[in-house]
Amino acid sequence: MSPRTVAVSRLGMPLTGLVIAGGRGLRLWPESRSGRPKPLFSPDGRTTLLSLTITRVQPLIARRHLFILCSADQAPLFARATAGLVPKENLLVEPEGRGTAVAIAYGCAVIRRRVGAALTAVMPADHLIAPASGLRRTLARAFSLAASDERIAVVGVAPARAEPGFGYQEIGPAVGAGFRVRRFIEKPPLALARRMVACGRFWWNAGIFVMSTATLESELSRHAPALAALTVRMAQAGPRRLARLYAGLRYDSFDRVVVEKSSRVVAVKADFRWHDVGSWQGLWEALKGSRTNALSPNAFAIDCEGVMARASRRPMVLLGVKDLVAVDAGEILFITTRARSQELKRLGPELGRRGLGRYL
């Protein structure tokens, strides 16, 4: 079924989107940090991960039905970044981050209040996906499945390699346009990930969920009743009251609170290439294509192999090096090997000890 067919045959329910934005994204430090959240990272120097997320779902999801959710401390940044992309009232602000279970419950409650009963695709703001038409085709199938069978459809990606840093779905028998999910495995050891990929029954979990607002309300009532009881009040609350309600919430991720416990979950196979851009290594893999180096426009590599280089205004020249990450973020220069580019959590304590915490 085509995206256009889905859009005009949804049993009276509009198609909506909730984009979860926020987080410092330390794994892409120093280009992404507290004042530069990861969704505003630019992979090509022209667009941001957030703007790409917004534009690739159109026209399947109309701009007026696309909502962006962020935390209060980053709201001014996202207000500027989304100006002209979505209506300004569609920027939803959490008083503070309380995990994706709370974020999705709150965001979908606001959608239900403003739009009415709807089908909603919940997606991260910071992934690289191509082609956009493939995402729209995948969402079209997921919307159909979620509408007809009252399911939560989760998007799975056929793995290109054994990746211990990703979550996985074990796929079972076919269910309509999707597949039953036998279980979820989060960040397996490398040896286990290799066995899982080799057997062909496991997909990467892309973190994209599609469901009706009614199905979400039902599953929250079953698996997180206290949170479900608050959603209507949260959707109607002003900033101060919302902050008071949020202060008492303690929940894990949406995956753990709902998806891993629900009997309504089915997987839909992605018809696109997917990168979660969770590290410099991951960005190198996403951008290098058929080449060995991934270079920004002002970076030059001579006799180099496996280099991820990001230059700022001044040129960056690399000569005869291999498997490096080099990032010039203006006031900060960061160099490491690709193999160790995921060890950035070590920087926080060290920079703090040296009185350089302002650069985090």
Beta-bridge partners for 139 = none
- CB–CB of 279/128 below 8 Å? no
pLDDT surpasses 90 at 13: no
Q: How confident is the model at residue 7 (pLDDT cuts 50, 70, 90)?
A: very low
What is the number of alpha carbons within 13 Å of residue 22 lying toward its C-beta? 23
Tell me whether strands 316-319 and 324-328 are parallel, antiparallel or unpaired: unpaired
pLDDT surpasses 70 at 14: yes
How large a percentage of the chain has pLDDT more than 70? 96
Q: How confident is the model at residue 1 (pLDDT cuts 50, 70, 90)?
A: very low
∠ CA 255-256-261 to the nearest 5 degrees?
95
Q: Rounded mean pLDDT of 123-131?
A: 93
Q: Of 183, 195, 188, 185, which Cα lies nearest the Cα of 165?
A: 188
Tell me whether strands 265-269 and 178-186 are parallel, antiparallel or unpaired: antiparallel
Q: Tens of pLDDT along 142-172? A: 999 999 878 999 999 999 888 888 899 999 9
DSSP state of 181: E
pLDDT surpasses 60 at 2: no
Q: Please, what is the angle between helix 100-115 and helix 213-223, to 10°?
A: 140
- CB–CB of 299/319 below 8 Å? no
CATH hierarchy code of domain 3-275: 3.90.550.10
Q: Of 151, 157, 209, 170, which Cα lies nearest the Cα of 17?
A: 209
Q: How confident is the model at residue 281 (pLDDT cuts 50, 70, 90)?
A: confident
- CATH 3.90.550.10 residue ranges in the chain? 3-275
Q: How confident is the model at residue 23 (pLDDT cuts 50, 70, 90)?
A: low
pLDDT surpasses 60 at 11: no
- DSSP string spanning 123-176? EESS-EEE-HHHHHHHHHHHHHHHHHH--EEEEEE--SS--TTSEEEEEEEEET
∠ CA 213-216-220 to the nearest 5 degrees?
140
Q: Of 323, 252, 302, 221, which Cα lies nearest the Cα of 100?
A: 252
Residue 352 confidence (pLDDT) = 86
How large a percentage of the chain has pLDDT more than 90? 71
Beta-bridge partners for 18 = 67, 122
- CB–CB of 294/283 below 8 Å? yes
Residue 292 confidence (pLDDT) = 92
Name the residue type at position 287: L
Q: How confident is the model at residue 351 (pLDDT cuts 50, 70, 90)?
A: confident
Q: How confident is the model at residue 237 (pLDDT cuts 50, 70, 90)?
A: very high
Q: Rounded mean pLDDT of 45-64?
A: 94
Instruction: For the chain, state the CA radius of gyration.
Output: 21
Residue 25 confidence (pLDDT) = 63
Q: Rounded mean pLDDT of 316-335?
A: 94
Q: Rounded mean pLDDT of 326-340?
A: 92
Q: Rounded mean pLDDT of 124-141?
A: 95
pLDDT surpasses 70 at 24: no
